[in-house]
Amino acid sequence: MKKFRTSLVAGVLVLALSLTGCSSLGGAKWVAKVNGEAISLTDYNTRIADVQKAYEQQGMAFDTEQGKATLKKLQAEILNGMIGSVLVTQDVKKQGLNLDDPKVKTAEDNIKKQVGDDAAFAAWLKQQAMTEPEVKNYLALSDKVTTDVKVTDAEIKQYFDSHQDQYGGQAEQVKASHILLKTEDEAKAIIVQLQKSTNLNADFAQLAKDKSTEQGAKDSGGELGYFSAGTMIPEFEKAAFAQKVGTFSTIPVKTDVGYHVILVEDHKQAVKADFTKVKDQVASDALNNAKSLKFETYFNDLNKNAKIEYAKGYNPQDATTTPSTNTPAANTPATKP
């Protein structure tokens, strides 16, 4: 599900826009109760259908094994989100917050601008399995919770330094391929073969396809693409960044997963963004991030202190993999040694 993190709305609504909602329609059948308030089976099924339709329009087939697994995860995510939305709505009512507050309307208008127009917003709500009142509840509560949040100049600069790629900068990067072997002797044998190569890149890729124990190497030829510091196993990363472009490692690199032979194809030095040109934007982004973190903490406390009951068969813990509804999933490399 899309998350808007590029505006004030995003900063205070990371949870709101990554969660889904519940209209509390009631009815005899329910899937969960939040502090005694029921989430109806009808509402739940309707939102599942809306999200499923959105995925199908993007090419997802839910009748395959992968599709069935994805649907199960979506069902867990949607129910977790509906529970979160009920918690927020209950707290909004408890505090007597005004959904017609001008700040709420401005924040909602900002979301609509990001989406496109009113029609696109309505479609987006279905894709997110939310309703407009639920969005307003999140906006109102997040505004109340984060109204006193401020960031210092030092915090703004720290945010800038750790998010260079957002402002035209680029971290130091290496482009590499690798062949992963179980033993050091196997790795040394590969090195001997490569030392005789007259077409290094092609031969390396073929050996990776034939010999590497890495899952996916038969298709990728061991290619990892560009990566920056902190994304690979430390020993592997250290060796790759120290190696000259156009060379392969003549000594096997040992890690917890085996022995690697590394080919470094390119090395880009870090490019520092100009802080003076983007200072205002960084200040806004840093503030949004601080608000997001505070709202997340507040929401987690609501969730921790809530009484939540599940109808039989609807507990998200029963899903194969229960997705997190509190924070966005961490980005990880598609291929990792």
- Map residue 11 onto helix, strand or coil: helix
Cβ(9)–Cβ(18) under 8 Å?
A: no
Those residues whose C-beta lies under 8 Å from the C-beta of residue 222, and which sit 6 or more positions away, are 177, 178, 179, 180, 204, 205, 208, 209, 212, 214, 263
Where would I find the H helices in the chain? 8-12, 14-18, 41-57, 65-95, 102-115, 118-128, 132-146, 153-162, 184-195, 200-211, 217-220, 234-242, 275-304
Residues 32, 142: one domain?
A: yes
- At 302 the pLDDT is 96
* One domain for residues 218 and 291: no
Specify the pLDDT at position 319. Answer: 52
pLDDT band at residue 310 under the 50/70/90 scheme = very high
- Look up the domain containing 225 and give its range: 173-268
Q: State percent of the chain over pLDDT 70.
A: 86
- Model pLDDT for residues 91-136, shown as the tens digit of each residue: 999 999 999 999 999 999 999 999 998 999 999 999 999 999 999 9
Do 124 and 253 belong to one domain?
no
Rounded CA-CA distance 76/31 in Å is 11
249 inside domain = yes
pLDDT tens, position by position, 23-57 = 344 445 999 999 999 999 999 999 999 999 999 98
Phi and psi, residue 37, nearest 5°: -90, 125
Does some domain include residue 2? no
In a domain, 327, yes or no: no
pLDDT in tens, 155-186: 999 999 999 989 999 889 999 999 999 999 99
Residue 95 in any domain: the answer is: yes
Query: Domain with 115 in it: what CATH number?
Result: 1.10.4030
For residues 210-233, give the mean pLDDT: 94
pLDDT of residue 28: 52
Looking at the domain assignment, is residue 161 inside a domain?
no
**243 with 283, same domain?**
no
Q: Give the pLDDT mean for 291-298.
A: 97
Looking at every residue in the chain, the average pLDDT score rounds to 87
Question: What is the separation of C-alpha 179 from the centre of its chain, rounded to a whole number of angstroms?
Answer: 29
Sorted by sequence, the CB contacts under 8 Å of residue 115 that are 6+ apart come out as 121, 124
In a shared domain, residues 191 and 212: yes
Examine the pLDDT at 253 and tell me if it is beyond 60: yes
Q: Domain for residue 165, yes or no?
A: no
